[in-house]
């Protein structure tokens, strides 16, 4: 029947439109994820920059500490000519040794900071290179998604125009019934029946009804879910002659 054929076409169009609309709704979420990921990369880069800045400050502070200790040692050694007793001399040597030990520890600490600085600079260079590359990739992904939004909207409008033409061919009451079924069954009003099974609710229909649906002489409904049923004839395989 022509009405049934138009209902099947209408269902296919509405399913396509619904699918495209769902895709439209999901794209902004993907764009937000891209923006969020881009911000995370930026944040990691800024953290490494901050770490480098802190290490450079620690290096400067440590160098000043070492300079102060060296000045202290210099002044202690300058007191040597003023020493008059062996006891005072021994005390001064001990003080100098203590300060020199402190100097060695500070120089070791400075060396550790220098190693950390070197590692951090290398890591920062890697993060920066990855940041620039990844941001370019993310921008391309975002651009493609924005283009997809535009193309999807155009596709929906074309399908809507095609839908209007089909609706004109369907009797008003039948179209109203179709719309009610669409609302009731989340966008699926017309379904195929295969091997006596409704592909909407996946329950068996009565054998006699299955026969009538296959004859394609009227509009039939699934007795369980109420959806409009249609039967799609299977194509017979082409027999190839062996002669």
Note the pLDDT of residue 242: 45
Question: In this predicted model, what pLDDT tens digit does every residue of 120-146 receive, in sequence order?
Answer: 888 888 888 888 888 888 888 889 999
* Domain shared by 155 and 200, yes or no: no
Note the pLDDT of residue 240: 44
Residue 192 φ/ψ, nearest 5 degrees: -80, 150
In a domain, 240, yes or no: no
On average, the pLDDT of the chain sits at: 89
pLDDT (mean) for 49-62: 92
Q: How far apart are alpha carbons 42 and 32 in whole angstroms?
A: 15
In a domain, 237, yes or no: no
Instruction: Give the tokens for residue 93.
Output: 């040597």
pLDDT (mean) for 68-91: 86
Note the pLDDT of residue 243: 41
In a domain, 236, yes or no: no
* Domain shared by 165 and 191, yes or no: no
* Domain shared by 178 and 197, yes or no: yes
Q: In what order do the strands lie in the sheet with 220-221?
A: 197-198, 190-194, 228-230, 220-221
In a domain, 165, yes or no: yes
Lowest mean pLDDT among 58-72, 122-136, 139-153, 190-204: 122-136
pTM, full prediction:
0.64
Contact 220, 209 (CB under 8 A): yes
Domain stops at, among 169, 187, 222: 169
- 77 band by pLDDT with thresholds 50, 70 and 90: confident
How big, in percent rounded to 5, are the helix, strand and coil portions of the chain? Answer: 75, 5, 20
Contact 178, 171 (CB under 8 A): no
Contact 10, 226 (CB under 8 A): no
Domain encompassing residue 154 = 2-169
pLDDT (mean) for 108-127: 90
pLDDT (mean) for 176-196: 95
The answer, yes or no, to whether residue 93 has pLDDT greater than 60, is: yes
pLDDT (mean) for 114-118: 92
* Domain shared by 189 and 114, yes or no: no
pLDDT (mean) for 29-57: 87
**Nearest to 166, CA basis, from 16, 18, 4, 22:** 4
């Amino acid at each position: 029947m022509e009405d049934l054929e138009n209902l099947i076409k209408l269902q296919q169009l509405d399913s396509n439109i619904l699918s495209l609309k769902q895709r439209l709704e999901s794209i902004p979420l993907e764009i937000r994820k891209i923006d969020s990921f881009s911000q995370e990369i930026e944040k990691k880069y800024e953290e490494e920059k901050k770490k480098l800045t802190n290490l450079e400050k620690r290096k400067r502070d440590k160098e000043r500490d070492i300079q102060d200790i060296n000045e202290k040692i210099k002044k202690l050694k300058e007191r040597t000519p003023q020493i008059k007793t062996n006891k005072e001399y021994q005390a001064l040597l001990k003080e100098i040794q203590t300060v020199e030990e402190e100097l060695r520890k500070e120089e070791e600490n400075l060396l550790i900071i220098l190693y950390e600085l070197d590692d951090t600079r290398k890591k920062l260079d890697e993060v920066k290179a990855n940041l620039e590359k990844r941001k370019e990739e993310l921008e391309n992904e975002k651009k493609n998604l924005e283009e997809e939004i535009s193309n999807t909207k155009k596709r929906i409008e074309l399908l809507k125009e095609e839908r209007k033409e089909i609706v004109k061919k369907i009797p008003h009451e039948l179209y109203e019934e179709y719309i009610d079924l669409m609302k009731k069954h989340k966008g699926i009003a017309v379904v195929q029946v295969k091997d006596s099974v409704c592909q909407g609710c996946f329950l068996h229909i009565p054998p006699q009804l299955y026969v009538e649906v296959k004859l394609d002489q009227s509009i039939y409904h699934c007795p369980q879910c109420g959806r409009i049923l249609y039967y799609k004839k299977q194509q017979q395989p082409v027999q190839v002659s062996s002669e």
